Homo-oligomer: A and B are copies of this chain.
Amino acid sequence: MEQVFVLGLDPGLSRCGYCVLDASVRSARAVALGVFRTRAGDAVPERLAELLTDFRSLLGEFTPSVMAVERVLFQTNVRTAMGVGQASGVLMAEAAGRGISIVEYSPNEVKSAVAGDGSASKEQVAAMVQRLLDLAAPPRPADAADAAAVALTHVAFATTTGAA
């Protein structure tokens, strides 16, 4: 059976969480899980270019058919919010340019799909990610867990709707 990869992303400039799931098996399996990091002391354009290079390496290794991203809502911290917007823009443009479908899910949809409760805490979501992916521990940092959660959300939605 051909492998179908679903990529989950939690965009950010300092830490960008990513998770690639092999969705062709009955119980989705993580084949890549982690964070891309850039240094806060470096200039923003260089950090964005570095993030793009890391992202391209990942896409080269696992070509996802779908990229799932949590819909970005604004944080109270203006600096962080701008970094999230800039990082998500870079990643979305690259993926769209390669013909990868991009699907956004609201934070509520992610929490409901993964933890069965739209008001679940970050810890509850990370614990469910651990269980669903049969990991030894909840993914750290939280950005990696969030990326896995949105990828799992897409798999759940795709299975339900038949739009794998």
A-side interface residues toward B, CB under 8 Å?
43-46, 48-49, 51-53, 72-74, 78, 81-82, 84-90, 92-93, 95-97, 102
- 30 contacting pairs across A/B (C-beta < 8 A): A43-B96, A43-B102, A45-B92, A45-B93, A45-B96, A45-B102, A46-B96, A48-B89, A48-B92, A48-B93, A48-B96, A49-B97, A51-B93, A72-B82, A73-B78, A74-B78, A74-B81, A74-B82, A81-B85, A84-B85, A85-B85, A85-B88, A86-B86, A86-B89, A86-B92, A87-B89, A89-B89, A89-B90, A90-B90, A90-B93
How close is A6's CB to chain B, nearest CB, in angstroms? 16
CA distance A50 to B71 in the complex (A): 20
Residue of B nearest to A46 (CB): B96
